[in-house]
Structure 1
Amino acid sequence: MIVNRTVSVTDAGTGLLADRLLEAGMADPVLTSLPDLDLSTVTVVVPVYGRPLALDRLLTSIGSRHRVIVVDDCSPEPEPIKAVAEKHNVQLVRLAVNGGPARARNEGLKHATTPYVAFADSDVVVNSDTIALLLKHFNDPQVALAGPRVLGLDEGGGMNWIERYEEARSSLDLGTYPATVRPRSPVSWLPGAFLLARTGALGEGFAAGSRVGEDVDLVWRLVEKGWRVRFEPDAKVWHEHRQSVVDWLSRKAFYGTSAHVLALRHSEAIAPAVLAPWSVAVVAAILFQRPWSGPVAGAVTTLAGWQISRKLGRSEHPLRVGAGLTARGLLAAQTQTMALFVRHWWPLTVIASIFSRRLRRALIVSCMVDALWEYWRTRPQLDPFRFALARRLDDLAYGTGVWYSALKGRSLRCLLPDIRRNPK
């Protein structure tokens, strides 16, 4: 039974209903109604490479409620790491060869004997109730992984313009709404800055050969196996944003280099855009910028809306609902096309715009509209000019990383949109 939009599980039938709603992404657990689980059942694994002061800050925020395993990924100066581990009385595992965070996490996983294991990067600070809140999700036996909201860390010295942009538009901040995480959904991955997992669901853990994108790969592999993954924004950690332009852009490009490997492993999930054929036709007509562009785009949109409404026979207002769905689909197609122009395909669009006035206009409009939309949506503590500049630099750096990985891997699969009749 559903009362005030809330399902109370009282028997097998309501349990099945709740499970179906959760799986469909149409409902979220009410954490206050779920029992607390024992915090001692969680082991925290911390991969570290240098940065002893950050490690000390993290371990202080975790406290003594959990067993902690620090995995030193062959730091050049191991003694400060050892001193911090001894100060907090935690287990230290030192690797003889640097293998990256995925391998370090897996080494810690081998030493974890508790039902649940958390992975925390050394440059985060954990809120006091974060693990307890995430742990509530594991009352659902289908949940294998849960992640918190990742916010920017301000230690009182204020943020520069890059950090203020990241506070509003961080790659790691997945928003304010809880969600079931799966490919091609509003929340399609979880950042590895902090994750809580069911130990038995992880198998051998992260893809050991990966130095980037290993968190995305883990989430998608678990979903493919039938596990449920949850994003919980009420649980929070704070992460150090890059402060210099060079470090920040290098990190963005580094994120982009994961595209090729993810495309090889998860080709159905990695497409930079997912479009229906009718929306491609509408966008193409608009891009031609001819006198007939408006009438053709309008005709195709009307036809698409009519076809969608025909499939809504059980709706009381099929035409109204169909028109709404068509409008949303058209808006999604336009925003995805702008993202392709200014982010994933920017080397091509910039070169082509030199020779095409129409494409040049489309690129300029895309740059401006995208920045204005994101500024309005995120309400950053930053003036519009610097936000727009940061937005474009962000896209250029990420797109450069994507192209580097594609050319190095000799495959453009990660750059190709997915055009399908019924996009999911």
Structure 2
Amino acid sequence: MQRAQLTIGVVVHNEVQHLPRLLQNLENIVGAHEADIIFVDNASTDSTLARIEHWSAQQENRNIQIIARLRNNLALARNDVIHKTQTKWLFFWDADCGMNRDSWERHLEILQSNVIHENVAAIGGGNSAQGPKSFLVSGLQSMSRNWISHMGSLQLRHPSKVEEVSVLSGCNMLIRTQAAIQVDGCDSWFHPVGEDLSLCHRLTKAGWVLLAAPNLEIDHYQNQTVISWMEKMFAYGLAQVQIATQYPQHFKGLRGAQCLAVILLAFASVLTPLLVLSLFAIYTLAYVTLAVKNGPRSIHYIFCGWALSFLSHLAYATGEVYALTSWLYCKFSPTYQGRSRIVKEQKTTQALVPDPIVNHEISP
């Protein structure tokens, strides 16, 4: 059997609604000899695992492993993939993501290109929002064209050239297996978000280089409500501060300046409500100006982007402020110090207990 070029790691948790598209994508896009596949079921309570087992049993000439976890932890699930990978490179393919054959071939080709030097640990690209026509999808597509919205984040923007970056998105990252193993993979304290940031910072701290490249976009399917999207943004805001407490380099440069500005403005707005209206007016003017500059778009398209951008940043900033105030309280409150030490000791003891998994292979 021809040896695969890389391994696709698919971590799933209650993904019945996404499985048909995911499995069809893997079957139609990925050649049997191009990639091994490792599924990690992250303690699903629906029929996700059974459906994956059924699909895998029907696949000929594919090297497939299935790991069934008994505890839901995204960081540990990604680490399971890292430690089971037998190829030089691996790629995490999330259940709500997909790509066409051209995009998959570009991911394979970039590994053979002259931009991949021995010090490159990972390379990735941007995400394109896809899904049924809705306020959320239209808003995300509009936000991807406006710097006020994405502020340089690879979650939304699309790189125009190969560039060195400090972090990559976990759902679109080709990773050198050796590098991921060297730094012990993702930090298991970060669940359900932030585990990809911890891996990136561990890699750069160890001297590895991360690259973002054009034409490596994937489709990110969105079928959630605006409320659930804002909850996710709040969690991402929390994660930014939590990551920075463990990896201070996360707030170096532009990202740190953005976070500091958001936090200062948030506190200032509480003291001076009039500032909220002023910031809202400036934000609106800047967004509309850039939207018009970026090319002709419908009023509906621009409005969706502006409204969702504002709601996303509001939820994101709220998460950052909440996390910072919580961290300051935990750091300096004498009352909290005793409880914190006890909890830390309990968590350390729990971390020493192996996390139970069930592993089996389906090979040709």
Shorter-chain TM-score: what band? 0.7 to 0.9
Q: Select which of 18, 29, 43 maps to 1:74.
A: 43
Q: Paired residue for 1:214?
A: 195
Change over 3 Å in CA distance of 1:397–1:58 after alignment to 2: farther
Q: Select which of 189, 205, 223 maps to 1:224.
A: 205
Distance 1:257 1:206 in 2: 18
Q: Paired residue for 1:145?
A: 122
Q: Select which of 100, 103, 116 maps to 1:127.
A: 100
Q: How does 1:14-33 map to 2 (within 5 A)?
A: none
Give percent identity, aligned residues only.
22
Distance 2:232 2:263 in 1: 16
Distance 1:72 1:215 in 2: 18
The answer (yes or no) to whether the contact 1:255–1:398 under 8 Å persists in 2 is yes
Cα deviation, 1:200-238, whole Å, max 9, x if unaligned, reads 111221112212122122222222222121111212211
Distance 1:242 1:151 in 2: 14
Q: State the TM-score, normalizing by the size of structure 1.
A: 0.64
When structure 1 is superposed on structure 2, of 206-215 and 402-411 the one drifting more is 402-411
The answer (yes or no) to whether the contact 1:182–1:223 under 8 Å persists in 2 is no
Change over 3 Å in CA distance of 1:192–1:373 after alignment to 2: farther
SS at match of 1:40: coil
Report how many residues are paired: 302
Tell me: higher relative CO, structure 1 or 2? Use CA pairs within 8 A at least 6 residues apart: 2
Cα deviation, 1:247-303, whole Å, max 9, x if unaligned, reads 21111112111122211122233158579xxxxxxxxxxxxxxxxxxxxxxxxxxxx
SS at match of 2:51: helix
Distance 1:376 1:412 in 2: 45
Distance 1:54 1:76 in 2: 20
The reply to whether residue 109 of structure 1 matches residue 89 of structure 2 is no
The reply to whether residue 405 of structure 1 matches residue 354 of structure 2 is no
Distance 2:8 2:255 in 1: 37
Q: Paired residue for 1:35?
A: none
Q: Paired residue for 1:348?
A: 267
SS at match of 1:235: coil
SS at match of 1:50: coil
SS at match of 2:215: strand
Cα deviation, 1:26-72, whole Å, max 9, x if unaligned, reads xxxxxxxxxxxx98231111111122324314423334221111111
Cα deviation, 1:354-394, whole Å, max 9, x if unaligned, reads 2xx5x356424432233224423655664443332222101
Distance 1:229 1:136 in 2: 16
- Structure 1, unmatched stretches of 5+, are 1-37, 184-188, 276-332, 414-424
The answer (yes or no) to whether the contact 1:346–1:399 under 8 Å persists in 2 is no
When structure 1 is superposed on structure 2, of 381-390 and 254-263 the one drifting more is 381-390
The answer (yes or no) to whether the contact 2:233–2:312 under 8 Å persists in 1 is yes
Q: CA deviation at 1:178?
A: 2.5
Distance 1:67 1:197 in 2: 14
AA aligned to 2:50 is: E
Q: Paired residue for 2:237?
A: 256
Change over 3 Å in CA distance of 1:231–1:271 after alignment to 2: closer
Q: Select which of 125, 128, 134 maps to 1:160.
A: 134
Highest Rg: 1 or 2? 1
The answer (yes or no) to whether the contact 1:263–1:270 under 8 Å persists in 2 is yes
Q: How does 1:1-400 map to 2 (within 5 A)?
A: 40-51=4-15, 52-60=19-27, 61-64=29-32, 65-77=34-46, 78-88=49-59, 90-100=64-74, 102-128=75-101, 129-137=105-113, 139-154=116-131, 158-170=132-144, 172-183=155-166, 189-203=167-181, 204-211=184-191, 212-270=193-251, 343-345=262-264, 347-354=266-273, 357=274, 359=275, 362-376=278-292, 379=295, 382-400=300-318
The answer (yes or no) to whether the contact 2:9–2:39 under 8 Å persists in 1 is yes
Structure 1's consecutive aligned runs of 4 or more residues displaced over 6 angstroms after TM superposition are none
Q: State the TM-score, normalizing by the size of structure 2.
A: 0.73
Q: CA deviation at 1:412?
A: 10
AA aligned to 2:269 is: V
Change over 3 Å in CA distance of 1:84–1:401 after alignment to 2: farther
The answer (yes or no) to whether the contact 1:39–1:132 under 8 Å persists in 2 is no
SS at match of 1:55: helix
The answer (yes or no) to whether the contact 1:180–1:230 under 8 Å persists in 2 is yes
The answer (yes or no) to whether the contact 1:70–1:85 under 8 Å persists in 2 is no
Distance 2:294 2:318 in 1: 25
Change over 3 Å in CA distance of 1:362–1:120 after alignment to 2: same
Cα deviation, 1:290-342, whole Å, max 9, x if unaligned, reads xxxxxxxxxxxxxxxxxxxxxxxxxxxxxxxxxxxxxxxxxxx9xx5xx866x
When structure 1 is superposed on structure 2, of 168-177 and 62-71 the one drifting more is 168-177
The answer (yes or no) to whether the contact 1:134–1:147 under 8 Å persists in 2 is no
AA aligned to 1:83 is: H
Distance 1:39 1:385 in 2: 50
AA aligned to 1:201 is: A
